[in-house]
Structure 1
Amino acid sequence: MAQSKQEKIAKYENFVDTRLKPDLVHAMAARDKVMDKERVFADLAKNIQMLQENGMKKMRTMVNLGSEVYVQAEVPDTSSIYVDVGLGFHVEFKLDEALSFCATKQKLLDKEVEEHTRQIAGIKAQIKLVQEGIRELMNISEERISEIHRG
């Protein structure tokens, strides 16, 4: 009987370590990636607003050519902007249109972040449930677990 319990405990611990924890790490990384996209669109919207507020018709900037190699660039006309809309496509927008696109894109990304957050919460709940099952199999009370962690 004790051998069967130990096998079950080992099986559950293995499930947490090999399945649930990697799923949690993957879900958190996916959420972080979406949050990075969200920040990019927020920065773009902020920069567009700055262009509009300051009435800048042209500007100088630094452009990353890749591998952190930068060159100065002059933008002779700031009335329109090219925005990466995904899948390698860039669309030319007037500044007002770009702001509208950024707002729409940020709403979609917010929903995606919420979905990833729900997924993360679900995985954490599963981990907690399995750990509770292991505790019951081992017949260890909550007080004993607290003593073990403190001591």
Structure 2
Amino acid sequence: MDRYPSEEVRKCEEFIDCKMKPSLVRATVERSDLRKNIENLQKNSITNLRTMVNIGSEVYMQAEVSDTQRIFVDIGYGFHVEFTWDEALNYIPLREEQIEECTCRIVRIKADIKRIHEGIRQLLQIPQEPYVEERVF
């Protein structure tokens, strides 16, 4: 019976580390600020740039964009659409609905992680720490 809580704790922690945290990272990354980036390109009349591109598994590579007048926008499910700046700006209101959904998903994932941590605390019979309000500066 002694092994049961530690095995359950290990499974919960593994679930958090392998499933929930990567989901949280993906959902957070999806919340990019497309409008701000496009407006910066327009405001500064940037026609070419050097940037870092995620080529998968959080591995980045330096890339040079020779013409920024047309951009590829991630529309979800791994699909990208080529837009002009104005077309992309018109698409953004639709994208903001998706971003709001991502925000809700992030909140749910964080709440689930907190609940699992609370369950682990209860399994291990660790007393709950008193709530201390954090100061924001």
TM-score over 0.5 for the alignment?
A: yes
Distance 2:65 2:114 in 1: 46
Residue 130 in structure 1 maps to residue 123 in structure 2:
yes
Q: Secondary structure of the residue that 1:74 maps to in structure 2? A: coil
Q: Is the 1:81–1:92 contact (alpha carbons within 8 Å) kept by the matching residues of 2?
A: yes
Aligned 8 A contact 1:82 1:92 in 2: yes
Partner of 2:107 in structure 1? Answer: 114
3-state SS in 1 of match to 2:63 = strand
Structure 1 pair 91/25, CA: closer, same or farther in 2 (3 Å)?
Answer: same
Instruction: Please say if 1:82 is aligned against 2:75.
Output: no
Q: 1:33 to 1:95 in 2, by over 3 A?
A: closer
* Structure 1 unaligned blocks of 5 or more: 1-7, 136-141, 143-151
Identify which of structures 1 and 2 has the higher relative contact order when contacts are C-alpha pairs closer than 8 Å and 6+ apart. 1
Judge conservation of contact 1:81–1:98 (CA < 8 Å) in 2.
no
In structure 2, what is the Cα distance between the partners aligned to 1:30 and 1:9?
A: 32
Q: Using the alignment, how far apart are the partners of 2:66 and 2:89 within structure 1?
A: 23
Is structure 2 residue 86 aligned with structure 1 residue 98?
A: no
Shift of 1:127: 0.3
Shift, 1:73, TM fit: 0.7
Q: Which has the larger radius of gyration?
A: 1
Is the partner of 1:59 in helix, strand or coil? Answer: coil
Note closer, same or farther for the CA distance 1:102–1:23 as it changes in structure 2 (3 Å cut): same
Question: Where do 5+ consecutive residues of structure 2 fail to align?
Answer: 128-137
The count of corresponding residues between Structure 1 and Structure 2 is: 118
Cα pair distance change 1:51/1:102, threshold 3 Å: farther
Q: How far does residue 124 in structure 1 lie from its aligned partner after superposition?
A: 0.7
For the aligned residue pairs, the C-alpha RMSD in angstroms reads 2.7
Residues 96-134 of structure 1, C-alpha deviations (whole Å, 9 max, x = no match): 2233234222211101101101110111111011011xx
Determine which structure has the larger helix proportion and give its number: 1
**Counterpart-to-counterpart distance in 1, 2:8 and 2:76:** 36
Following the alignment from structure 2 to structure 1, what is the Cα–Cα distance between the partners of residues 76 and 65? 26
| 2:24 is the counterpart of 1:36 | no
Q: Percent identity?
A: 17
C-alpha distance in 2, partners of 1:55/1:68? 24
Instruction: Give the conservation status (yes or no) of the 8 Å contact 1:83–1:98.
Output: no
